[in-house]
Amino acid sequence: EVQLVESGGGLVQPGGSLRLSCAASGFAVSNNYMNWVRQAPGKGLEWVSVIYSGETTYYADSVKGRFTISRDNSKNTVYLQMNSLKTGDTALYYCARGWGSEWGQGTLVTVSS
Amino acid sequence: DIQMTQSPSSLSASVGDRVTITCRASQGIKNDLGWFQQKPGEAPKRLIYAASSLQSGVPSRFSGSGSGTEFTLTISSLQPEDFATYYCLQYSTYIPWTFGQGTKVEIK
């Protein structure tokens, strides 16, 4: 059974950093596109970043230069390093496999002073 | 960036109604489109991929159509468990991938 479990969210001050993790089971992250998608409270879905099965990565303009997606194939885990956080980054962050075939339950990031 | 214009933003319907939701892309994306259902407090769930392919386990009352710039999600006979918010997502070669604004389907 495919499962995605996010962790690492929490409360952080503006300008701070967090690293989110997405632990996968039932498939190999090395062979799949892996995405991060976020949802601000009461708002719609916003795509954040993707890492391809090679090392190619892409980012939304809103996070480019501040967020970095990576993966550790030995741990079957995908990460999102978030630096220079802004209040507008407050959201529930989901990881998703491929073109959204499976999703985790999300981890909440709150950026506030 | 490709803009996805989803309509309507909300609708009220009764059990048994036929419901249609539309997404228009600002430029052609072939059939690189998916439809997702999200219920309150839950993660999104994919219903349709490649514009018209039904995700395994999804009831056949859901169907998708379209290619290029115009896409449709149809629920042939609305069921009580279908009241939710629906999103389209374009995942073409044009980065960034973009979601529609969402359609909230409410009980009439």
Q: Find the CB nearest B44 among A45, A59, A61.
A: A45
Instruction: Answer whether B102 sits within 8 Å of A45, measured CB to CB.
Output: yes
pLDDT for residue B107: 86
Please list, residue by residue across B70-105, b when 16 or more beta carbons sit within 10 angstroms of its beta carbon and e when fewer do. Answer: ebbbbbeebeeebbbbbbbbbbbebbbbbbbbbbeb
Interface probe for B, chosen from A39, A47, A62 (most Cβ of B below 10 Å), is A47
List residues bridging with A19 in a β-sheet: A81
pLDDT for residue A106: 98
pLDDT, one tens digit per residue, over A49-78 is 999 988 899 999 999 999 999 999 999 999
- Tell me which residues of chain B, numbers 45 to 104, contact chain A at a CB-CB cutoff of 8 Å: 45-46, 49, 55, 87, 89, 91, 95-102
Measure CA A74 to chain center: 18
Q: Which residues of chain B have pLDDT under 50?
A: none
The mean predicted confidence, pLDDT, of chain A is 96
Instruction: Answer whether A45 sits within 8 Å of B87, measured CB to CB.
Output: yes
pLDDT for residue A71: 96
Residue B55: both structure tokens together = 């995700």
Instruction: Answer whether B43 sits within 8 Å of A103, measured CB to CB.
Output: yes
Instruction: Answer whether B99 sits within 8 Å of A46, measured CB to CB.
Output: yes
pLDDT for residue A55: 85
User: How many angstroms separate the Cα of B13 from the Cα of each of A78, A96, B21?
Assistant: 40, 30, 12
From chain A, the residues in CB contact with B100 under 8 A are 44
Of all residues in chain A, what percent carry a pLDDT higher than 70?
100
- Angle CA(A60)–CA(A64)–CA(A65) in degrees, nearest 5? 170
Residue pair A109/A17 in contact by the 8 Å Cβ criterion = no
